[in-house]
Amino acid sequence: MAIKPIKFSKSCIKTLTAVEADITRSNQHEFQGVAPLKDIFGLTRITKKATFSIRGDSQTYSVDLTWYDSREGNPNRSAEYRLYFQSSPVMEVAQEGDVIAIGYDMNNNIHCELIQSYKGTLKPTQWQLSQGTI
């Protein structure tokens, strides 16, 4: 539940680029494998379930994630890591400039929590409505 804080054992925060968030720019469903993600996931291909949520909203979605080298099998090119994710309602509302916290919780489960930048076009979250702040 994203209304309560997630206690991460290892995590990073990533600002989403247009190709990571905007399906009109790219429909790849991938985060670029920046150095902090390499620190979390290492250099070995993994596929696991992850919980996606939006900060302040109680809805969570179980999504398959795959961390992989997009150039594996091509010895003439250097590694280029990516974190593939299945489509979810969370990433359908993500926009360029939003932030996503990605990491392992204290029970070794992966969480991806979207923190919206509120550029004035997004709907208020359940939590904001319940607090009467909007």
pLDDT tens for residues 10-25? 999 999 998 888 777 7
CA 69 vs. chain centroid, Å, equals 18
Angstrom distance (rounded) from CA 106 to CA 31: 23
Residue 120 or 36, more confident = 36
The whole model's pTM is what? Answer: 0.81
- Collect all residues with Cβ–Cβ distance below 8 Å to 57 and sequence separation of at least 6: 2, 3, 125, 126, 127
Domain locations along the chain: 8-131
Q: Top-level CATH class of 8-131?
A: mainly beta
